[in-house]
Amino acid sequence: MSLFDHMRLRPAALFGLLLVLSGAGIYFLAGLPSSIFPSVTFPIVKVIADAGEEPAARMMPTVTRPIEEAIRRVPGVLSVRSITSRGSSEMSAEFQWGTDMQVALERVQGETQRIKPDLPPDTHIEVQWMNTSIFPILGYALTSDRVSQAELWDLAEYTLKPALLGVDGVSQIQVQGGRRREFEIRLDPAALQGRGLSAADVVDAVQSNNDVLSAGLTEQNHELYLALATGRVHDLNALSQISVPVRDGPPATLADLGEISVENEVSYIRTTANGQPAVLVNVIRQPSANTVAIAHGVQELFRDQPNLLPAGVEWTPFYDQARFVTNSVTGTENGVLIGVLLAACVLYVFLRRWRTTLVAALTIPITVAIAGLALGAFGQTINLMTLAGLAAALGLIADDAIVVVEDIERRRAEGDADPARTSLRELMPALIGSSLSTVIIFLPFALLPGITGAFFKPLALTMAMALGISFFVGVVAAPIAIVALERIGYGRRHRAEGGVAGPRDDRAAAAIRDRSAQEGAWKRFRGRLEASYMWFTGLFVDHGAIAVIGLAALLIGGWQLYGRIGTDFLPGMDEGSI
């Protein structure tokens, strides 16, 4: 007894399995991380060095070249490119595709830290790898008519940033714009000259006093305590009392040497929102985080803690990638529903049986749901490439089921005793060949090297899994469902035929006559359609020159149009922001 016979004897077990797999797929689809692009780590490590206001001519020999030489000592580096400007140097180290970028990142960090003592003082080095998750997914603007830009920056940096970092999936919060507050000392040249001091002496005094130092350990009450000496400055009064040593004289305080005030840091960047100055807060996700879940988490944060924003401060979103992802997912869901409805309409028009139409149409949502389970098992996410794979596969998913159920109906009309078995025996080699050839077509896309392969692998994998699942549903589940539904319909007809004739039987007979008349009209229409098709096909078969000329015209026209098509790595997308 074949596998098909075993399943036909126990259809409830097969349908239960499909139901469980579909439910699990829907559950996994709802919990999969979602983003615009698939999670791709590029073989690039970026190093950014900040040396304050150091001139570009000095940055090149003292910062850029030493760091370049250190990066080149890392195994596997193919090339290093750098951009040097005033106070800043940005370098990109490129590796081979397939390199373990976590190891490469650690090695670059180690080499840059090793040479840091040889760089100018106060040089800050930041090392990061490049992947699709380093770009912000959410952007908000802090604006106010009552609160200053310095206070808005303090609010974003010391209140909102720690709170947002507590949202699941958030890896980094970037604060842009605003003004930082700082202490400003305007030295009196006469006071410095009279005490024999220079500006450098004042700077050294401030740096040495504004610090926290360890005074050692002390034992008390059978416990060991760490003693700290702090001179950290918190206000103007403490800063003004810092003493500056004077040679051959009593020390002078900062108040004796100049004027001290609280000012805003000089900034050459202006950020605005809705035509007024603003502080921008950008949210960056972790590589495996869910963009939509993070957006919901941020909304819940401000809903549960309304005191985060003081009175008079507005929190306005200016970029929301989650909305774009949600719209894409919703569009795919609508596409599945529309595809099911259109397929059902077309099938019913040609098959004229609601049972077979229902079976063929249901293969689409069942396949999509089980494909969601496969996506979760293979560690994929919901992104444009996987959604595109599902959308492109919709037209192919129902093909196997349509071919099988149509052939079963045709053989039943011809009087075959077991149309399901006969159809599968005849169609199985062709179905296997067509499904495998379609899947193999997408195999090279998954094996493409470089960034192209990284982006197309999820698309190819999604389509291959969807087509494989649809093959199983079409050649196993669909015939068994047809047989089960036919048994139910046969039982009802048998019970109706065994009763006594009455008004209900008369209405049934009238319905049968109406249906026979409709089927007769449909057969005539289909006969004319088939005759037109045979005439059109025979024209090209009997006159091969016409077929060759038409094909050549299509090839030439296609080649001409191909040359006018623009090229780009990704299609243009409207995310609702610039």
Residues β-bridged to residue 81: 92
For residue 578, pLDDT beyond 60: no
Percent of the chain scoring above 70 in pLDDT:
90
Centre a 10 Å sphere on the Cβ of residue 178 and count the other Cβ atoms it contains: 25
Three-state secondary structure call for residue 230: strand
- Distinct helix (H) and strand (E) counts, the chain: 21, 16
Q: What is the pLDDT of residue 499?
A: 47
- DSSP-derived letter for residue 64 is I
Residues β-bridged to residue 50: 88, 124
Centre a 10 Å sphere on the Cβ of residue 407 and count the other Cβ atoms it contains: 18
Determine the Cα–Cα distance for residues 199 and 49; give it in Å rounded to an integer.
27
- Cβ distance 380 to 386 under 8 Å? yes
Cα 460 from chain centroid?
17
- The kind and range of the H/E element at 140 are strand 138-144
Amino acid 477 reads: A
Q: What is the pLDDT of residue 5?
A: 64
Residues β-bridged to residue 125: 49
Q: What angle do CA 408, 410, 414 make, to 5 degrees?
A: 115
Residues β-bridged to residue 563: none
Q: What is the mean pLDDT of residues 361-375?
A: 87
Cα 251 from chain centroid?
62
Q: What is the pLDDT of residue 64?
A: 92
Contacts of residue 108, Cβ cutoff 8 Å, sequence gap at least 6:
45, 47, 71, 74, 93, 127
- What sign for the dihedral angle of Cα 563, 566, 570, 574? negative
- What sign for the dihedral angle of Cα 359, 360, 365, 367? positive
For residue 493, pLDDT beyond 70: no
Cα 69 from chain centroid?
36
Determine the Cα–Cα distance for residues 231 and 233; give it in Å rounded to an integer.
6
- The kind and range of the H/E element at 161 are helix 161-165
338-343 long-range Cβ contacts below 8 angstroms, 24+ apart? 339/364, 339/394, 339/395, 340/364, 340/365, 343/398, 343/402
User: What tens digit of pLDDT does each residue of 416-435 get?
Assistant: 777 777 888 888 888 888 88
Residue whose entry in the numeric block shows the structure tokens 């179905």: 431
Q: Average pLDDT over the chain, rounded to whole? A: 82
User: What tens digit of pLDDT does each residue of 262-304 get?
Assistant: 888 877 778 888 888 899 999 999 887 888 889 999 999 999 9
Residue whose entry in the numeric block shows the structure tokens 């599945």: 336
Q: What is the pLDDT of residue 167?
A: 92
Determine the Cα–Cα distance for residues 520 and 412; give it in Å rounded to an integer.
18
Rg (CA), the chain: 37
Residue whose entry in the numeric block shows the structure tokens 């206070």: 151
User: What tens digit of pLDDT does each residue of 143-200 get?
Assistant: 988 888 888 999 999 999 999 999 998 999 999 888 888 888 888 888 888 888 888 8
Amino acid 309 reads: L
- Phi and psi based region of residue 219 (left: phi greater than 0; alpha: psi -120 to 50; beta: remaining): beta
User: What tens digit of pLDDT does each residue of 195-217 get?
Assistant: 888 888 888 888 888 777 777 88
> Is residue 309 exposed (0-12), middle (13-18) or buried (19+ Cβ within 10 Å)?
middle
Determine the Cα–Cα distance for residues 24 and 125; give it in Å rounded to an integer.
47
Centre a 10 Å sphere on the Cβ of residue 23 and count the other Cβ atoms it contains: 12
Q: For the whole model, what pTM was predicted?
A: 0.72
- Phi and psi based region of residue 274 (left: phi greater than 0; alpha: psi -120 to 50; beta: remaining): left
- Cβ distance 239 to 259 under 8 Å? no
Determine the Cα–Cα distance for residues 29 and 372; give it in Å rounded to an integer.
5
Q: With bands split at pLDDT 50, 70 and 90, how would you rate the model's confidence at 11?
A: confident
Determine the Cα–Cα distance for residues 544 and 534; give it in Å rounded to an integer.
15
Determine the Cα–Cα distance for residues 304 and 288; give it in Å rounded to an integer.
26
Q: What is the pLDDT of residue 574?
A: 61
Cα 512 from chain centroid?
55
Range list of H helices, 354-449: 354-377, 384-397, 399-413, 419-446
Q: What are phi and psi of 318, to 5 degrees?
A: -115, -10
Determine the Cα–Cα distance for residues 563 and 551; give it in Å rounded to an integer.
19
DSSP 176-199: EES--EEEEEEE-HHHHHHHT--H
For residue 507, pLDDT beyond 60: no
- Cβ distance 392 to 470 under 8 Å? no
